[in-house]
Chains A and B, each alone.
Chain A
Amino acid sequence: MNTIYPGETMDHLSRKYEDKNRDHVIKILLLGLCTIVIAIFALGQGSSVNLDMLTTAKILLQIEEGSEIQRLILWEYRVPRVVFAIIAGTGLAIAGALMQGALGNPLVSPLTLGVASGAALGAALAIFLDLTFVSELLSLLWTGLTTIIPIMPVITFVGSDLVLNAFFFALLVVYIIIKLGSVRGVTAESYILVGIAITFIAGAIVQTMVYFATAEELSQLTHWSFGSLARVDSREVWIIGGAVIFLVPKSLEWSWDLNSLSIGGDEFAISTGVDPVATRKKILILSSLLTALIIAFTGMIGFVGLAAPHMSRLIIGNDYRKLIPCSAIFGALLMLIADTIGRTVIAPVVLPVGLMLSVVGGPLFIYLLLTNRGHH
């Protein structure tokens, strides 16, 4: 029989905890590496000019010059798209993880709070009623500013009135969420129920417009709702990317609050020094902003925000200090894989990423859930 000395069990437990954490960090790093490899592969693939990974990497790192057309396609077309896939996947996955934790509900996705329905309403208004007051207002303001400060550059507010309108209406929903957060006695369920109500209301308005729409308008809206990465130009990619990068560290700061809230609910959270109402409010504002920012450009992509956090939980558990980065990487990975398949499977036709995500990611998600029951 082994003799256990006093203190030995304690050291053993502490060591095991450290080992487990190290194991998780290694898994996250490997997943990150995997994402980089797939990103390089994705950069080489398309409807024309297919490059192997080595050549792609060499041209990117300027070790090899490559032909002009190769450079052009790579830098002008594929780099922004792949970077945007990573940004959108990361942002939506983090938004999903935050919302699930703050609301203590595993069924929640970035679409739950109605932000995306708001965006859809904005897009529909832009298409059907030609209500593009947001972009007009911005242009007017900008023109005013350039008159006052002549050195400011003259920029036009991106061809896409649709995106701006979608973003504006998504922000309106974010505003409703902020207002709701200040109502006394608001619970996690209140947010979800209000989200569902917003979804119904916005949906009904869109459906009414659809009822009177022409075939061309219908096709435009359907196209928007598919979820696509094709609507952004390289400048917008950096703007959205910057905003996502700015918002992510904030969410990491709240990891412990999310751990406490998601594991034990409101009363338990209070006993650990977390104010559930205030915490939930700030987390939902941040995550709905992230969602609004991305969904306005991409259209309806919700699945990645539901699946990536759950896939991460299967691997590293529910500790948000690790769950947020792991979900981000899973989100990027899923988005990259779905988009690459969508771009190549029946090239030159490009299938929308939103559809591919559900078609490819859905079965994978179900398989992982079923085979991993009982494990992290």
Chain B
Amino acid sequence: MSEIMKVEGLGFSWGDNLVIDSVDFIVKENELVSVLGKNGAGKSTLLKCLNKILRPNRGKITIHGEDISELGILTTSKKMSYVPQSITSNFSMDVFDVILLGRRPYINWSVGEKDRDLVSKTIDKMGLTDFAFRRFDRLSGGEKQRVIIAKAVAQDPNLFLFDEPTSDLDLKNQIEVMKELRKIVSEDNGKAAVIAIHDINIASRFSDRIMLLHEGKIISNGKPSDVLTPENIELVFEVTSRQVMGEDGILRIVINDEI
């Protein structure tokens, strides 16, 4: 598996407040990497540094060996797609048009057959056919989130950066969206995803690797069963837990009652 992104000595601070402190990691092809940590640990900030929304104070980020600080915004958007937690807007468009914005980096002015059909295909694949010509602002929070994810998929980047993609979704949709992301990352060669997420069980079930972020540092980085140990979880989330391996072969983290 070849490397897609490499992060070395990344540091970011808001004024004197150090949010990200000497973070190093590598993301390889076909990998789904989850970033876990409590509120304010720096998960969103980390993703925004990776997508150049925020400019890091220190360190170097490369994608396919190229320093991202030297890439133009258009080139960057072809290589990676960031999905914010939610978007609020005073204006609206049909769902089809919103997903079409994923093709914006490739479109000059008129929409070609290829871009149009790719959007149709993505809508079909993501199960959004019934919404395709409904207004985006009239959808529920969960539906909107799926549309924004579909926009990122239509963008066809090498690296997806999702900031809590399942926060507004119900249980069934959380699983379906994660399955879809898993499929895209596993099947299409040359793709990977970094996901900031709160639900440790969803993270452990779908991720190849988990990075545990605590006070701006990555304190553990590896296979879910190695990272989500009772010791790590107690350090980061201040709760006690145990790992249970189900008969279905899925690792579950059970939080003990006493908090």
A complexed with B: yes
Interface on A for B, CB 8 Å cutoff? 9-14, 16-18, 20, 100-101, 104-106, 252-253, 255-256, 259-260, 262-265, 267-268, 270-275, 313, 317-319, 321, 374, 376
Residues from chain B with Cβ under 8 Å of A317 in the complex: 92-94, 97
Residues from chain B with Cβ under 8 Å of A273 in the complex: 73-74, 76-78, 104-105
What would 9 more interface pairs be, CB under 8 Å, given A270-B73, A271-B81, A273-B104? A10-B124, A17-B119, A101-B91, A263-B91, A265-B88, A268-B87, A270-B77, A270-B82, A317-B92
Residues from chain A with Cβ under 8 Å of B51 in the complex: 270-271
Least distance between A68 CB and chain B CB atoms (Å):
48
Q: In the bound complex, do residue B109 and residue A13 qualify as a contact, i.e. CB atoms below 8 Å apart?
A: no
Partner of A272, one of B102, B109, B123: B102
0 or 1 for each of B93-104: is its CB under 8 Å from A? (1 = yes): 110111001101
Most-contacted residue by chain A among B48, B51, B53, B83 (CB, 10 A)? B53
Q: In the bound complex, do residue B120 and residue A260 qualify as a contact, i.e. CB atoms below 8 Å apart?
A: no
A272 and B101 in contact, given A10-B124, A13-B129, A265-B87 (Cβ under 8 angstroms) = yes
Q: In the bound complex, do residue A13 and residue B132 qualify as a contact, i.e. CB atoms below 8 Å apart?
A: yes
Residues from chain B with Cβ under 8 Å of A318 in the complex: 91-93, 97
How many Å lie between the Cα of A100 and that of B90 in the bound state? Answer: 10
Residues from chain A with Cβ under 8 Å of B74 in the complex: 273
**Per DSSP, are chain A's interface residues mostly helix, strand or loop, or mixed?**
helix
0 or 1 for each of B101-134: is its CB under 8 Å from A? (1 = yes): 1101101011001001101110110000100110
Residues from chain B with Cβ under 8 Å of A265 in the complex: 87-89
Q: In the bound complex, do residue B109 and residue A255 qualify as a contact, i.e. CB atoms below 8 Å apart?
A: yes
How many Å lie between the Cα of A253 and that of B107 in the bound state? Answer: 12
B84 is an interface residue with CB less than 8 A from chain A: yes
* Total chain B interface residues with beta-carbon distance under 8 A: 48
Q: In the bound complex, do residue B132 and residue A260 qualify as a contact, i.e. CB atoms below 8 Å apart?
A: no
Least distance between A23 CB and chain B CB atoms (Å):
12
Interface on B for A, CB 8 Å cutoff? 48, 51-53, 73-74, 76-78, 81-84, 87-94, 96-98, 101-102, 104-105, 107, 109-110, 113, 116-117, 119-121, 123-124, 129, 132-133, 135-136, 138, 148, 152, 155
**Ordered nearest first, which 10 A-B pairs have the shortest CB separation?**
A273-B77, A13-B120, A273-B105, A271-B82, A272-B104, A273-B74, A10-B120, A262-B91, A264-B87, A14-B120
Q: In the bound complex, do residue B132 and residue A16 qualify as a contact, i.e. CB atoms below 8 Å apart?
A: yes
How many Å lie between the Cα of A264 and that of B91 in the bound state? Answer: 9
Q: In the bound complex, do residue A260 and residue B124 qualify as a contact, i.e. CB atoms below 8 Å apart?
A: no
Residues from chain B with Cβ under 8 Å of A264 in the complex: 84, 87, 89, 101, 148
Least distance between B202 CB and chain A CB atoms (Å):
23
Output the nearest chain B residue to A262 by Cβ-Cβ distance: B91
Q: In the bound complex, do residue B101 and residue A260 qualify as a contact, i.e. CB atoms below 8 Å apart?
A: yes
Residues from chain A with Cβ under 8 Å of B81 in the complex: 271
Most-contacted residue by chain B among A104, A259, A264 (CB, 10 A)? A264
Output the nearest chain A residue to B132 by Cβ-Cβ distance: A13
How many Å lie between the Cα of A16 and that of B95 in the bound state? Answer: 13
Q: In the bound complex, do residue A259 and residue B93 qualify as a contact, i.e. CB atoms below 8 Å apart?
A: yes
Number of A-B residue pairs, CB cutoff 8 Å, is: 123
Q: In the bound complex, do residue A275 and residue B92 qualify as a contact, i.e. CB atoms below 8 Å apart?
A: no
* Pairs across A and B, CB under 8 Å, 20 listed: A9-B120, A10-B120, A16-B133, A17-B120, A104-B89, A104-B90, A105-B90, A252-B109, A263-B91, A264-B84, A264-B87, A265-B87, A267-B53, A268-B84, A272-B155, A273-B76, A317-B94, A318-B91, A318-B92, A321-B110
Q: In the bound complex, do residue B73 and residue A9 qualify as a contact, i.e. CB atoms below 8 Å apart?
A: no
How many Å lie between the Cα of A52 and that of B107 in the bound state? Answer: 48
Most-contacted residue by chain A among B48, B74, B116 (CB, 10 A)? B116
A259 and B101 in contact, given A10-B120, A271-B81, A273-B73 (Cβ under 8 angstroms) = yes
How many Å lie between the Cα of A10 and that of B1 in the bound state? Answer: 33
Output the nearest chain B residue to A266 by Cβ-Cβ distance: B53
Q: In the bound complex, do residue A272 and residue B91 qualify as a contact, i.e. CB atoms below 8 Å apart?
A: no
How many Å lie between the Cα of A108 and that of B229 in the bound state? Answer: 53
Residues from chain B with Cβ under 8 Å of A255 in the complex: 109
Residues from chain A with Cβ under 8 Å of B53 in the complex: 267, 270
Output the nearest chain A residue to B124 by Cβ-Cβ distance: A9
How many Å lie between the Cα of A275 and that of B105 in the bound state? Answer: 12
How many Å lie between the Cα of A275 and that of B71 in the bound state? Answer: 13
Output the nearest chain B residue to A17 by Cβ-Cβ distance: B96
Output the nearest chain A residue to B76 by Cβ-Cβ distance: A273
How many Å lie between the Cα of A14 and that of B117 in the bound state? Answer: 6
How many Å lie between the Cα of A10 and that of B82 in the bound state? Answer: 25
Output the nearest chain A residue to B90 by Cβ-Cβ distance: A106
Most-contacted residue by chain B among A13, A100, A267, A313 (CB, 10 A)? A13
Q: In the bound complex, do residue B77 and residue A271 qualify as a contact, i.e. CB atoms below 8 Å apart?
A: yes
Partner of A13, one of B76, B93, B96: B96
How many Å lie between the Cα of A364 and that of B34 in the bound state? Answer: 53
Residues from chain A with Cβ under 8 Å of B83 in the complex: 271
Output the nearest chain B residue to A11 by Cβ-Cβ distance: B120
How many Å lie between the Cα of A252 and that of B136 in the bound state? Answer: 23
Residues from chain B with Cβ under 8 Å of A13 in the complex: 96, 119-120, 123-124, 129, 132
How many Å lie between the Cα of A267 and that of B51 in the bound state? Answer: 10
Residues from chain A with Cβ under 8 Å of B105 in the complex: 272-273
